[in-house]
Structure 1
Amino acid sequence: MGSIYLKLCLPWFAAGPIPLAPPKAAMTIAVPHAVAEARPGRLPLWVGLGVYALALLAGSQLLNDPDTYWQISVGQSILDHHAVPTIDLYSFTMRGQPWVSTQWLSQVLFAGAYGAFGWTGPVVLTATAVAATFALLTHFLHQRLVESTTLIFVMVALALMLDHLLARPHVLAMPVMVAFVGGLVAAMDRRGAPSLALLPLIALWANLHGGFVLGLALIAPLGIDAIVHAEARLQKALLLRWVLFGVAACAACCLTPYGWDSLLAARRILNLGAALAMIGEWRAADFGHPGPLELTVLAGFALVLWRGVTLPPMRIVLVLGFVFMALSHVRNAEVLALLAPLVLAKPLGERVGRGSAAEPAAPRRLLFAGVAIGLLTGTFIIASIQNYAPYDRSSPAAAVTELKKHNLARVFNDYDFGGYLIWRGVPTFIDGRTELFGEKRMVEHNNASGLSEPDNLFRLLRDYDIEATLLRTQSAATKLLDHLDGWQKVYSDDIATIHLRKAGAVHSVEPVVNVDKK
């Protein structure tokens, strides 16, 4: 992996230090070369097609997340009842408690795609969103950077995002995020105000995914940069226009079935504290085991030292913010991958050469008709060959079938099994809706199932009058229940194990452990 990153960055390193003020002669040579190389208007199309094909071929990898199950289930419920959820209906521990789904529109789209085409539907929908995201990113960058530099950014972005390209709402929101933030950055680059045409984008984003709050947060720093670098006589008017746009954007974010609650609900995830560290995608970056994110940060640091890259102060703040977000929670690698290049494109283009902002005067209908036919044909062929389906590790199908025979209502389940239980209509103890269960419940469950605090397991079994457990076969809690008095193993496979509570068994903080029990 390290060698790949070195090759990607080699074109940057070979040129030596970047002067703060390049000679004019160098710029007159670089720009025409960039324009000649660019083939304007085509590169985003080919990048989008390539990414789409890769996503389709990866197919089932896009379904490798237990949350996909409950996202589709909630979407189907919205379609069936023509109403968005306002209370929890899927767990027995929080049933009836207030809960809103800030990603309701994505859930409806996934449910509709699944209902029409089975698992192929969510795969194609996700692949389309990913392809659109990279096409938009390429379009923005290619207007400001030469083709080779644009492709470096695109390839690094793809490497950073691979682990988080899943059939989930955040992916459907990614092209909207790139389009909205790209519009703000374009306004900053020209030292003007953002277009009001961006308001429908952030309204759409607010209905697709709770990450729209990042878009709101970026309005202020991008506006400040635009105002500071504008002519003095224009600054007051520009300030007013950015402020009005910010207010209008806040109002647009409330154009959801939940109104102002959309803004409040999006904050609850950030208040989970210690619980976030227990969820894989919310863990911090680990330089002890470097992956694409860690290598990208190190390569970027090396590039700055080698080439002497300089940026305006506010762009430095923005890039550092994106890096901090990615290092704090690996799921934010997509923010670094997609938004940092938007901020860096113009100043880097002024130093390494610009691409062409021109577009073809009239797109050839034959080309786009051919592309459309090719897409449909390729999709049909690949989908017919690939047998798309979620992985078994998060789909304990046989165990849940056995569990349903007992007609139980209070099951202590593994966190990763929650989405599949919702899918099968079994009330959960806990599931992927972390903002509903809160920090305390998440920490208690994690400590109980991992036996870092065994008393937690016995207390939860007692306090919630648990009738059965459905846990991973290799988990510490499963191994203990194998020997715990009052519990009987009734089913086990490589994925999940079911223990039933015996009639008359007493949940105790100090239960009897039978070491001879098998």
Structure 2
Amino acid sequence: MIGTDDGAEARRKSFIVLLFAVLLAAALGSSAGIFNDGDVSWHLATGQWIIDHRAIPDTDPFSFTWGGKPWVPIEWLAEVVMTGAHRLAGYSGLAALVTAALIALNLLVTVNALRFVPPWAAAAIVVLLDLILIPMMLARPHLLAWALLAFWLSMLLRARERDRAPPLAAALLIVVWVNLHGSFAIALVIAAAFGLEALLTTPDRARALRQWGLFGLACAIGGLVNANGIDGVLHPLTIANLEMLPLIDEWKPSNPRTTPFFFVASAFGALLAWQGRPKLHPVRWLLLALLLGMAMMQMRHQAVFAIAAAMLVPAGCAGLAGRPAGRLLTVVAVSVAAALVLVRAVLPITLPENSANPWKLIAAVPPELRTQPVLNGYSMGGPLILSGIRPYVDGRGDMYGDELVVGYKRITEGNAAELDAAVRRWNIRWAILPPRYPKLIALLDQSPQWRKIHQDNIGAIYVRN
């Protein structure tokens, strides 16, 4: 069994764990690795477009292959927040936003764990959680939604402890969430699971049905209060039916080779849980099993499972004499967190030069080519958009659809017929490609129709003769 610790010494240790969680999140949020994704750039470009036009686009304003066609920007609120941080303090401001979101997540998870388990166990939980999240710690909207998920679970746990549904006003969080990130749909599933648990365990089932039914209705209505209308609600479901999902890394099934942290941390987490002998209602075990299944089927759901497990499993260890740090010490920890966020906003940060941030390579593009149709690397699409160049494709694969993305995949695999068809259809005049497409690069190098005009360690630029 996990040991316990009592009295002032335990509260002191709890405070140390809170500070540790804050410092860990601050260190992770300060890493330049949070910008290692080309999607960061098109999210910033979208936020800039929304602020400049004071409207939310319903058609694509960026690419030449989909320009003017329907687009559902379900993450518009996150993009506006990201752009606001970027305008205030550049990429340091964006790093500060990421740091604040990670600190909020770690604090919520740690404070919740300290209610039920000893400080050392709470520290282990937050470390294992962050290990799982590290590969997904990117300056993108999904990261901002993590703290919302932890807060949502904390609120539901406390509501069940009081044997009541959360207040109807709590459904306002769904209004924010649905405009921030598509994971709001999972929040509704989690709330439904807690409502079912209440119906199965509460003697007064009529009261439980009335309270949780009203709360569920309020959440459903909240989901409809979004800038994209019914499309914003249905969009996460339409994405799940796309054939091209297996071509995108984050939609691929989990496996130890690509995401070893998830499997190692989950194994240690299972061992820690076995030590604590958590007693969870069967509905909660089923919920965790569902989320684990989703995580195994698609890597992008690993974060949801990890956060849910970090919040729910400690609650089943209520007999282990958890020791909260106390209100005053918690306020001190939050104050330290705020100071660290401000420091992060002031200190400069250097972006890594790679295919997600190919700024020197883009600077080498001749002015006369910048307005011409281009065949670009997938991760380079976002930086091209932020540079004012219309890409062939970018990280909005769900918008482009199966035909274009699957065809693009064939092109990158060196399919000459697919390349010729795309060149004729779109009158492609140049290409900017990373080394990760060796077959396509070899095809261009061998073709008399293409000529390389620039190359560095990030990629190469070709023009069509």
- TM-score, normalising length: structure 2: 0.91
Distance in 2 (alpha carbons) for counterparts of 1:489 and 1:76: 33
Amino acid at match of 2:433: L
Alignment of 1:126-275 (within 5 A): 126-231=98-203, 234-273=204-243, 275=244
Distance in 1 (alpha carbons) for counterparts of 2:317 and 2:237: 34
Alignment of 1:69-468 (within 5 A): 69-231=41-203, 234-273=204-243, 275-288=244-257, 291-300=260-269, 311-350=280-319, 353-356=320-323, 359-360=326-327, 367=332, 371=336, 374-375=339-340, 378-379=343-344, 383-384=346-347, 386-407=348-369, 408-451=371-414, 453-468=415-430
> Cα distance, 1:368 vs. partner?
7.2
- Do the aligned partners of residues 392 and 175 (structure 1) sit closer, same or farther apart at CA in structure 2, a change above 3 Å counting? same
Query: What is the DSSP-based 3-state SS (H/G/I as helix, E as strand, rest coil) of the residue aligned with 1:393?
Result: coil
- Do the aligned partners of residues 370 and 344 (structure 1) sit closer, same or farther apart at CA in structure 2, a change above 3 Å counting? closer
Query: What is the DSSP-based 3-state SS (H/G/I as helix, E as strand, rest coil) of the residue aligned with 2:448?
Result: coil
- Do the aligned partners of residues 390 and 201 (structure 1) sit closer, same or farther apart at CA in structure 2, a change above 3 Å counting? farther
Query: What is the DSSP-based 3-state SS (H/G/I as helix, E as strand, rest coil) of the residue aligned with 1:55?
Result: helix
Query: What is the DSSP-based 3-state SS (H/G/I as helix, E as strand, rest coil) of the residue aligned with 2:240?
Result: helix
Structure 1 position 470 matched with structure 2 position 432: yes
Q: 1:51 aligns with which of 15, 24, 40?
A: 24
Gaps of 5+ in 2: none
Distance in 2 (alpha carbons) for counterparts of 1:295 and 1:212: 28
1:489 matched to which residue of 2? Answer: 452
Which stretch shows the higher mean deviation, 409-418 or 285-294?
A: 285-294
Structure 1 residue runs of 4 or more that deviate by more than 4 Å after TM superposition: 300-310, 362-365, 367-370
By relative contact order (CA 8 Å, sep 6+), the higher-ranking structure is 2
> Cα distance, 1:145 vs. partner?
2.0
Which stretch shows the higher mean deviation, 113-122 or 139-148?
A: 139-148
Contact 2:57 2:73 in 1 (8 A): yes
1:26 matched to which residue of 2? Answer: none
Amino acid at match of 2:368: H
Distance in 2 (alpha carbons) for counterparts of 1:104 and 1:175: 18
- Do the aligned partners of residues 36 and 372 (structure 1) sit closer, same or farther apart at CA in structure 2, a change above 3 Å counting? closer
- Give CA deviations for 1:309-330 in whole Å, capped at 9, x if unaligned: 6643212111111211222222
Amino acid at match of 1:269: I
Distance in 2 (alpha carbons) for counterparts of 1:298 and 1:167: 28
> Cα distance, 1:122 vs. partner?
0.4
Contact 1:189 1:346 in 2 (8 A): no
Distance in 2 (alpha carbons) for counterparts of 1:48 and 1:309: 23
Gaps of 5+ in 1: 1-10, 16-29, 503-518
Amino acid at match of 2:451: Q
Which stretch shows the higher mean deviation, 293-302 or 40-49?
A: 40-49
- Give CA deviations for 1:312-357 in whole Å, capped at 9, x if unaligned: 321211111121122222222211221112222222233xx03146
Query: What is the DSSP-based 3-state SS (H/G/I as helix, E as strand, rest coil) of the residue aligned with 1:228?
Result: helix
Amino acid at match of 1:460: A
Aligned residues: CA RMSD:
2.8
- Do the aligned partners of residues 173 and 486 (structure 1) sit closer, same or farther apart at CA in structure 2, a change above 3 Å counting? same
Amino acid at match of 1:130: L
Query: What is the DSSP-based 3-state SS (H/G/I as helix, E as strand, rest coil) of the residue aligned with 1:430?
Result: coil
Which stretch shows the higher mean deviation, 414-423 or 174-183?
A: 174-183
Distance in 2 (alpha carbons) for counterparts of 1:333 and 1:189: 27
- Do the aligned partners of residues 255 and 39 (structure 1) sit closer, same or farther apart at CA in structure 2, a change above 3 Å counting? farther
Which stretch shows the higher mean deviation, 153-162 or 290-299?
A: 290-299
Amino acid at match of 2:166: P
Amino acid at match of 2:23: G
> Cα distance, 1:305 vs. partner?
7.2
- Give CA deviations for 1:29-62 in whole Å, capped at 9, x if unaligned: x5x738862459846742453134313542x111
- Do the aligned partners of residues 227 and 400 (structure 1) sit closer, same or farther apart at CA in structure 2, a change above 3 Å counting? same
1:505 matched to which residue of 2? Answer: none
Contact 2:93 2:344 in 1 (8 A): no
- TM-score, normalising length: structure 1: 0.82
Contact 1:488 1:499 in 2 (8 A): yes
Contact 2:36 2:357 in 1 (8 A): no
Amino acid at match of 1:320: A
> Cα distance, 1:108 vs. partner?
1.0
> Cα distance, 1:430 vs. partner?
0.7
- Do the aligned partners of residues 272 and 142 (structure 1) sit closer, same or farther apart at CA in structure 2, a change above 3 Å counting? same
Distance in 2 (alpha carbons) for counterparts of 1:105 and 1:356: 37
Query: What is the DSSP-based 3-state SS (H/G/I as helix, E as strand, rest coil) of the residue aligned with 1:119?
Result: helix
Distance in 2 (alpha carbons) for counterparts of 1:343 and 1:148: 17
> Cα distance, 1:431 vs. partner?
0.5
> Cα distance, 1:370 vs. partner?
6.7
Paired residues, number: 463
- Do the aligned partners of residues 368 and 178 (structure 1) sit closer, same or farther apart at CA in structure 2, a change above 3 Å counting? closer
Percentage of pairs with the same residue: 26
> Cα distance, 1:388 vs. partner?
2.7
Distance in 2 (alpha carbons) for counterparts of 1:101 and 1:189: 37
- Give CA deviations for 1:43-88 in whole Å, capped at 9, x if unaligned: 6742453134313542x11111111111111101111111111100
1:516 matched to which residue of 2? Answer: none
- Give CA deviations for 1:353-403 in whole Å, capped at 9, x if unaligned: 03146843x6798x57973785367436xx53x533243332233433343
